A = this chain, B = another copy of it.
Amino acid sequence: MDRESRRRSVAEAIHRIAAREGLEGVSVRVVAAEAGLSAGAVQREFPTKDDLLLFALETSVDEVAARFSRIRIGPDALTFAEGLRAVLTDLLPTDERRRAQARIWAAFYARAAVDPAFAKVLSDLDARARANLALALGYARDQGELAVDRDPAAVAELLLVVIDGLWFSCARLPEGDPPDHLHSAVDAAVALITTRTR
């Protein structure tokens, strides 16, 4: 078994544990057991616990970034309104996997609140998202989908906040609850930001 795939399976193990018990439940031994490896193997790959968690965070960031970048807005793709709805709806816990990812995300955010290394990784992702949003909003304005008196940069900031809020609303949703009210919130966000199609 090559190194890279083992690192990946460790990251997946951490994600499963974090979704179940939070970052507090992540320890070298537990991760090793969950990944089906010996503790020594995990430890050799990730000398300290911070290495372990940061790698899991980066893996998670890559996954989320990939999810976002799958949705393309532009002339020969989705309209801005469609794309915006797709991005926001994609965050909602439609299945158990999504729900788990929201919980993982919440755990990492909490860690970022007290650990600058984690905060930096997240703010880098933020910067990328901000840039992508600026592009999409520029396109939207060109297409007349944005009310002209809205400041696109401010709307972008609001959207980043909404996205963060959706993550956490999902994270603390009880196990079986459907996210109906979050769908309402997404509807409202799309309706308020885009102009009506009359």
Contacts and interface: CB of A to CB of B under 8 A. Distances in A.
A138 to B, nearest CB: 16
Nearest to A111: B22
B151 A184 contact: yes
A174 interface: yes
Contacts of A182: 157, 161
Nearest to A171: B113
Interface residues of A, number: 52
A114 B192 CA distance: 33
A122 B172 contact: yes
A113 B172 contact: yes
B22 A113 contact: yes
A106 B110 CA distance: 5
A102 interface: yes
A171 to B, nearest CB: 4
Q: Main SS of chain A's interface residues?
A: helix
- Identical copies in the complex: 2
A154 B187 contact: yes
Contacts of A191: 150, 154
A70 interface: no
A186 to B, nearest CB: 8
A113 B106 contact: yes
Given A110-B107, A165-B165, A158 B172 contact: no
Nearest to A170: B113
A184 B133 CA distance: 15
A154 B193 CA distance: 14
A154 B184 contact: yes
A89 interface: no
Interface in A40-67: none
